[in-house]
Amino acid sequence: MSLIQIRQELHEIIEKSDDSVVEAMYVVLQSIMDKNNDIIGFSAAGEPLTRQDFIARIRASYEAGKHGEVKDSEQLLAAIETW
């Protein structure tokens, strides 16, 4: 069975299940994801991001902003033009 088929079947199971089953499935899946620190997204460059990576990036951005290490709109537009 392909991953697409598995996802479709899981959606069907969820739609047919009562609330207690859905909540139990959520708890189990969330526990697995937290334990394994699975990939939750991708960077603009296509690199995988784990939850820990994502939180670290947010914290780094916040700290940079607190110290004035940010680009104004003109600097950002100039940087975009070089992409």
Per-residue pLDDT of 19-68, as tens digits, reads: 988 888 888 787 777 665 667 888 888 888 888 888 888 999 988 888 88
**Where do the structural domains in the chain lie, given as residue ranges?**
1-36, 39-83
Tally of CA atoms within 13 A in the half-sphere of 13 that contains its CB:
13
From the list 75, 24, 29, the residue with the least C-alpha distance to 38 is 29
0.85 cut: is pTM over it? no
pLDDT of residue 80: 92
Which amino acid does the sequence have at 13? Answer: I
pLDDT of residue 37: 65
pLDDT of residue 35: 64
Buried b / exposed e along 41-52 (16+ C-beta atoms within 10 A): eeeeeeeeeeee
